[in-house]
Protein backbone atom coordinates (compact mmCIF):
# COMPACT_ATOMS: atom_id res chain seq x y z
CA UNK A 1 0.00 0.00 0.00
CA UNK A 2 1.31 3.44 -0.87
CA UNK A 3 1.96 5.93 1.91
CA UNK A 4 -1.03 8.16 1.06
CA UNK A 5 -3.34 5.12 1.00
CA UNK A 6 -1.91 3.96 4.31
CA UNK A 7 -3.18 7.12 5.98
CA UNK A 8 -6.65 7.12 4.46
CA UNK A 9 -7.36 3.38 4.48
CA UNK A 10 -5.72 2.37 7.75
CA UNK A 11 -4.65 5.22 10.04
CA UNK A 12 -7.81 7.33 9.64
CA UNK A 13 -10.30 4.54 8.83
CA UNK A 14 -13.13 4.44 11.38
CA UNK A 15 -13.30 0.63 11.31
CA UNK A 16 -9.61 0.39 12.18
CA UNK A 17 -9.73 3.13 14.81
CA UNK A 18 -12.54 1.29 16.53
CA UNK A 19 -10.54 -1.92 17.06
CA UNK A 20 -6.90 -0.73 17.08
CA UNK A 21 -6.95 -0.23 20.86
CA UNK A 22 -7.44 -4.00 21.25
CA UNK A 23 -4.15 -4.65 19.43
CA UNK A 24 -1.59 -2.37 21.11
CA UNK A 25 1.42 -3.30 18.93
CA UNK A 26 -0.26 -2.63 15.58
CA UNK A 27 -0.84 1.09 16.06
CA UNK A 28 2.87 1.93 16.59
CA UNK A 29 3.83 -0.25 13.61
CA UNK A 30 1.56 1.57 11.17
CA UNK A 31 2.21 5.03 12.58
CA UNK A 32 5.99 4.63 12.61
CA UNK A 33 5.99 3.52 8.97
CA UNK A 34 3.79 6.45 7.99
CA UNK A 35 5.76 8.99 10.02
CA UNK A 36 9.11 7.58 8.76
CA UNK A 37 10.36 6.70 12.24
CA UNK A 38 12.20 3.63 10.98
CA UNK A 39 14.01 2.73 14.21
CA UNK A 40 10.67 2.52 16.01
CA UNK A 41 9.23 0.73 12.96
CA UNK A 42 11.75 -2.12 13.30
CA UNK A 43 11.06 -2.41 17.04
CA UNK A 44 7.30 -2.43 16.41
CA UNK A 45 7.69 -4.98 13.63
CA UNK A 46 9.57 -7.29 16.01
CA UNK A 47 6.86 -6.82 18.65
CA UNK A 48 4.10 -7.67 16.15
CA UNK A 49 6.07 -10.71 15.03
CA UNK A 50 6.51 -12.00 18.59
CA UNK A 51 3.01 -11.10 19.80
CA UNK A 52 0.71 -11.96 16.90
CA UNK A 53 2.42 -13.83 14.08
CA UNK A 54 4.58 -16.49 15.75
CA UNK A 55 1.90 -17.66 18.25
CA UNK A 56 -0.70 -18.03 15.48
CA UNK A 57 -1.04 -21.50 13.99
CA UNK A 58 -2.12 -20.05 10.67
CA UNK A 59 0.36 -17.17 10.39
CA UNK A 60 3.49 -18.67 11.94
CA UNK A 61 4.61 -20.58 8.80
CA UNK A 62 4.63 -17.24 6.97
CA UNK A 63 6.55 -15.26 9.59
CA UNK A 64 9.83 -14.96 7.68
CA UNK A 65 8.06 -13.91 4.48
CA UNK A 66 5.92 -11.26 6.22
CA UNK A 67 8.80 -9.74 8.19
CA UNK A 68 11.04 -9.69 5.10
CA UNK A 69 8.35 -7.96 3.02
CA UNK A 70 7.76 -5.37 5.74
CA UNK A 71 11.50 -4.65 5.97
CA UNK A 72 11.63 -4.25 2.19
CA UNK A 73 8.69 -1.83 2.42
CA UNK A 74 10.61 0.31 4.92
CA UNK A 75 13.78 0.25 2.80
CA UNK A 76 11.87 1.16 -0.36
CA UNK A 77 10.15 4.03 1.39
CA UNK A 78 13.40 5.64 2.53
CA UNK A 79 15.12 5.01 -0.83
CA UNK A 80 12.23 6.59 -2.77
CA UNK A 81 12.81 9.86 -0.97
CA UNK A 82 16.48 10.25 -1.84
CA UNK A 83 18.70 9.74 -4.85
CA UNK A 84 21.51 8.57 -2.56
CA UNK A 85 21.66 7.80 1.15
CA UNK A 86 24.71 7.16 3.28
CA UNK A 87 24.94 3.64 4.66
CA UNK A 88 25.73 5.12 8.08
CA UNK A 89 22.70 7.41 7.91
CA UNK A 90 20.46 4.57 6.84
CA UNK A 91 21.77 2.34 9.64
CA UNK A 92 21.15 5.12 12.16
CA UNK A 93 17.64 5.68 10.81
CA UNK A 94 16.75 2.00 11.23
CA UNK A 95 18.61 1.64 14.53
CA UNK A 96 20.88 -1.18 13.29
CA UNK A 97 24.57 -1.54 12.46
CA UNK A 98 26.11 -0.56 9.13
CA UNK A 99 27.13 -4.18 8.55
CA UNK A 100 23.53 -5.31 8.97
CA UNK A 101 22.21 -2.71 6.52
CA UNK A 102 24.97 -3.53 4.03
CA UNK A 103 24.28 -7.28 4.19
CA UNK A 104 20.50 -6.86 4.10
CA UNK A 105 20.47 -4.41 1.21
CA UNK A 106 22.99 -6.52 -0.72
CA UNK A 107 20.73 -9.53 -0.41
CA UNK A 108 17.62 -7.62 -1.53
CA UNK A 109 19.46 -5.92 -4.41
CA UNK A 110 20.81 -9.28 -5.65
CA UNK A 111 17.30 -10.74 -5.49
CA UNK A 112 15.98 -7.80 -7.56
CA UNK A 113 13.71 -6.54 -4.78
CA UNK A 114 15.39 -3.13 -4.43
CA UNK A 115 16.45 -0.99 -7.37
CA UNK A 116 19.60 0.57 -6.01
CA UNK A 117 23.32 -0.05 -5.75
CA UNK A 118 25.79 0.19 -2.90
CA UNK A 119 29.01 2.15 -3.32
CA UNK A 120 31.12 0.64 -0.56
CA UNK A 121 34.05 2.97 -1.14
CA UNK A 122 31.97 6.11 -0.65
CA UNK A 123 29.62 4.39 1.80
CA UNK A 124 26.41 5.38 0.01
CA UNK A 125 23.37 3.65 -1.41
CA UNK A 126 22.42 5.07 -4.83
CA UNK A 127 18.86 4.67 -6.00
CA UNK A 128 18.29 3.54 -9.58
CA UNK A 129 14.91 4.82 -10.57
CA UNK A 130 13.64 2.47 -13.25
CA UNK A 131 12.42 4.10 -16.43
CA UNK A 132 9.00 2.66 -17.25
CA UNK A 133 9.25 3.30 -21.00
CA UNK A 134 12.56 1.44 -21.23
CA UNK A 135 11.14 -1.42 -19.15
CA UNK A 136 8.11 -1.67 -21.42
CA UNK A 137 10.36 -1.58 -24.49
CA UNK A 138 12.60 -4.34 -23.10
CA UNK A 139 9.54 -6.43 -22.25
CA UNK A 140 8.14 -5.95 -25.75
CA UNK A 141 11.43 -6.98 -27.36
CA UNK A 142 11.73 -10.02 -25.07
CA UNK A 143 8.16 -11.17 -25.73
CA UNK A 144 8.53 -10.51 -29.47
CA UNK A 145 11.72 -12.55 -29.57
CA UNK A 146 10.02 -15.43 -27.76
CA UNK A 147 7.11 -15.27 -30.22
CA UNK A 148 9.47 -15.33 -33.22
CA UNK A 149 11.32 -18.32 -31.79
CA UNK A 150 8.03 -20.16 -31.30
CA UNK A 151 6.94 -19.41 -34.85
CA UNK A 152 10.27 -20.63 -36.23
CA UNK A 153 10.00 -23.88 -34.26
CA UNK A 154 6.43 -24.34 -35.49
CA UNK A 155 7.47 -23.70 -39.12
CA UNK A 156 10.21 -26.37 -38.82
CA UNK A 157 7.70 -28.90 -37.51
CA UNK A 158 5.10 -28.11 -40.18
CA UNK A 159 7.57 -28.07 -43.12
For the CA atoms of 109, 68, 75, 102, the dihedral, rounded to the nearest 10 degrees, stands at -50
Statement to judge: residues 27 and 71 lie in one domain: yes
Statement to judge: residues 95 and 153 lie in one domain: no
Ranges of the chain with pLDDT below 70: 130-131, 159
Q: pLDDT for 71-91, tens place per residue?
A: 999 999 998 888 899 999 999
Domain ranges, residue 63: 3-128
Residue 131 has a pLDDT of 67
Statement to judge: residues 79 and 46 lie in one domain: yes
Statement to judge: residues 78 and 95 lie in one domain: yes
What are the beta bridge partners of residue 86? Answer: 124
Give the Cα separation of 120 and 86 in Å (integer): 10
Reported pTM: 0.75
| Domain total in the chain | 2
Statement to judge: residues 12 and 68 lie in one domain: yes
Residue 102 has a pLDDT of 92
Statement to judge: residues 47 and 109 lie in one domain: yes
Q: How far apart, in Å, are the Cα atoms of 120 and each of 54, 72, 85, 103, 123?
A: 36, 20, 12, 11, 5
Amino acid sequence: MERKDLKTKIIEAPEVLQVIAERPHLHPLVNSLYSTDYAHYFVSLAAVEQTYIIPSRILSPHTRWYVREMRIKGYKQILESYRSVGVANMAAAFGVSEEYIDAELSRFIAAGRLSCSIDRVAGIVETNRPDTKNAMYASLVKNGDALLNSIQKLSRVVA
